[in-house]
């Protein structure tokens, strides 16, 4: 699956590799994050059996890509059969689920090799087939960036076929370290599409397809990427350039704030969730599962851990705060194990724009595993409504909201 050199580049990974396999055998493949849940979510209930079967079959780390890849290929074969039979809705759904599975299969391979490149190719091909058969417009857009023949790949989802001259408000989505743009828009019932907004999802430097093309992440190049994406989208004939929001999840909560700082007053709002705002990235890289550090070193093009440690020290939200000119929503778990909530609290306190800071009692990084979120207000519903309100120019709230373990909110104005 990976070269020995790759397996040995992170000290904790090398030392704990045997322990990780034992943990996976004992508790399953979601030892570090709920990847089955968040990757199947965009596909809906039809994908549950595929993902849960993978979860049951994985007994060690090396099983992960193989089981996801096999499940993806089975779905792809079914979709191809449906297509030949003229059952295009069934084919659409099959191709989408296959793309989600291929996206998951890519994750455990922290280098570009024959296997990961093939998963990437199949993921794109399946998603393009899904887009071709979808009952609303989906356009692949490649934004030139980072040098000759390099680009930021994305998909623009429109709520419906536009009438002549019709323009849609837009939400731009940025994923984190471990997914890809393909998992950032739901096949049916997408939170933004259902609210009448176009949804553009893209891979920034170091994410998704960009690892294969060696368009790697630096401490600041997501800012330049956001400018390039924005410039391309405002020229689109069906996008309202004056009604654009951005949102980011997990490490995308850092990248989205970089985008907000880069774009300033060109945005109506910036919403970030599953926070990652700790300066220097100590918790996620040196205290959490070593899989995070392995992944990020791959995203950044490092194979020397000491050099990477100097590199990661440059990641901080401090220079961004004064450059953010739009309202901001921040949602975090009180017990976030990847970025202690105190760093988001401090960052929000310094913002000079209308801000809504939502903290869920007892929740970890991936909000949704504790009573505060499922008895309280769903984080994604809140985020989508907040973006729609900013698009509609409603007054932005300036408040701290704390959901306790019973889901009861306490609201404190700033």
Verify that 205 and 121 share a domain, yes or no. no
Verify that 61 and 142 share a domain, yes or no. no
pLDDT score, position 404? 99
In a domain, 307, yes or no: no
In a domain, 231, yes or no: yes
Residue 100's nearest CA partner among 122, 117, 84 is: 122
Average pLDDT, the chain: 98
pLDDT score, position 86? 99
In a domain, 70, yes or no: yes
Verify that 220 and 269 share a domain, yes or no. yes
β-bridge mates for residue 359, sequence order: 332, 402
Q: pLDDT by residue (tens digit) across 347-371? A: 999 999 999 999 999 999 999 999 9
In a domain, 106, yes or no: yes
In a domain, 290, yes or no: no
In a domain, 119, yes or no: yes
Q: How confident is the model at residue 330 (pLDDT cuts 50, 70, 90)?
A: very high
Rg (the chain; Cα; Å) = 20
Verify that 252 and 378 share a domain, yes or no. yes
Verify that 264 and 170 share a domain, yes or no. yes
Q: What is the CATH number of the domain that holds 363?
A: 3.40.50.1820
pLDDT score, position 354? 99
Residue 6 burial (CB count, 10 A):
18
Distance between alpha carbon 205 and the CA centroid of its chain, in Å? 13
Q: How confident is the model at residue 142 (pLDDT cuts 50, 70, 90)?
A: very high
Residue 21's nearest CA partner among 63, 57, 53 is: 63
Q: Which residues contact 45 (CB under 8 A, 6 or more apart)?
A: none
In a domain, 311, yes or no: no
pLDDT score, position 235? 98
Verify that 96 and 238 share a domain, yes or no. no
- Indicate the residue among 135, 169, 188 that finishes a domain: 135
Q: How confident is the model at residue 306 (pLDDT cuts 50, 70, 90)?
A: very high
pLDDT score, position 320? 98
Verify that 165 and 128 share a domain, yes or no. no
More confident residue, 369 or 139: 139
Q: Worst-scoring range by mean pLDDT, 33-47, 87-101, 325-339?
A: 33-47
Verify that 237 and 107 share a domain, yes or no. no
pLDDT score, position 1? 80
- Indicate the residue among 135, 162, 185 that finishes a domain: 135
Domain with 246 in it: 136-277+317-414
In a domain, 51, yes or no: yes
**Counted domains in the chain:** 2
- Order of strands across the sheet that contains 151-157: 138-144, 151-157, 198-202, 168-174, 239-249, 269-273, 328-333, 355-360, 399-403, 409-413
> What 3-state class would DSSP assign to 405?
coil
Verify that 225 and 372 share a domain, yes or no. yes
Verify that 47 and 152 share a domain, yes or no. no
Verify that 118 and 165 share a domain, yes or no. no
Distance between alpha carbon 104 and the CA centroid of its chain, in Å? 12
Verify that 240 and 353 share a domain, yes or no. yes
- Indicate the residue among 135, 162, 192 that finishes a domain: 135
pLDDT score, position 150? 96
Q: How many CA atoms lie less than 13 Å away from 242 in the CB half-sphere?
A: 2
Q: Is residue 339 within a helix (H) or strand (E), and if so which, with residue range?
A: none
């Amino acid at each position: 699956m990976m070269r020995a050199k790759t397996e040995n580049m992170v000290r904790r990974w090398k030392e704990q590799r045997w322990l990780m396999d034992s943990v996976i055998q004992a508790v399953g493949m979601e030892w570090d994050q709920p990847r089955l849940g968040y990757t199947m979510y965009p596909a809906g209930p039809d994908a549950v059996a595929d993902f849960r079967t993978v979860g049951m079959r994985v007994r060690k780390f090396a099983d992960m890509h193989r089981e996801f890849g096999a499940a993806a290929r089975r779905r792809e074969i079914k979709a191809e059969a449906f297509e030949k039979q003229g059952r295009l809705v069934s084919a659409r759904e099959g191709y989408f689920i296959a793309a989600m599975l291929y996206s998951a299969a890519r994750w455990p391979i922290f280098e570009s090799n024959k296997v990961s490149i093939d998963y990437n190719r199949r993921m794109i091909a399946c998603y393009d087939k899904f887009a071709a058969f979808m009952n609303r417009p989906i356009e692949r857009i490649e934004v030139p960036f980072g040098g000759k023949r390099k680009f930021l790949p994305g998909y623009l989802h429109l709520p419906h076929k536009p009438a002549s001259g019709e323009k849609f408000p837009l939400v731009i989505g940025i994923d984190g370290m471990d997914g890809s743009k393909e998992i950032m828009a739901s096949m049916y019932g997408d939170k933004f599409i259902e609210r009448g907004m176009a949804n553009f999802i893209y891979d920034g430097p170091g994410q998704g397809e960009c690892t294969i093309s060696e368009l790697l992440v630096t401490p600041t190049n997501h800012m330049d990427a956001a400018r390039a994406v924005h410039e391309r989208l405002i020229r689109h004939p069906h996008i309202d350039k004056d009604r654009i929001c951005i949102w980011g999840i997990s490490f995308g909560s850092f990248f989205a704030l970089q985008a907000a700082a880069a774009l300033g007053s060109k945005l109506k709002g910036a919403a970030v969730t599953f926070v990652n705002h700790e300066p220097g990235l100590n918790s996620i890289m040196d205290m959490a599962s070593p899989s995070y550090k392995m992944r990020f070193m791959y995203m950044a093009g490092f194979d020397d851990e000491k050099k990477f440690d100097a590199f990661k020290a440059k990641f901080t939200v401090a220079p961004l705060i004064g450059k953010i000119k739009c309202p901001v929503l921040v949602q975090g778990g009180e017990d976030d194990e990847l970025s202690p909530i105190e760093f988001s609290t401090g960052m929000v306190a310094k913002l000079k724009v209308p801000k809504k800071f939502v903290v869920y009692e007892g929740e970890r990084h991936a909000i949704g595993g504790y009573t505060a979120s499922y008895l309280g207000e769903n984080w994604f519903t809140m985020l989508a409504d907040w973006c729609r309100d900013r698009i509609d120019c409603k007054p932005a709230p300036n408040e701290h909201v704390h959901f306790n373990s019973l889901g009861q909110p306490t609201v404190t104005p700033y």
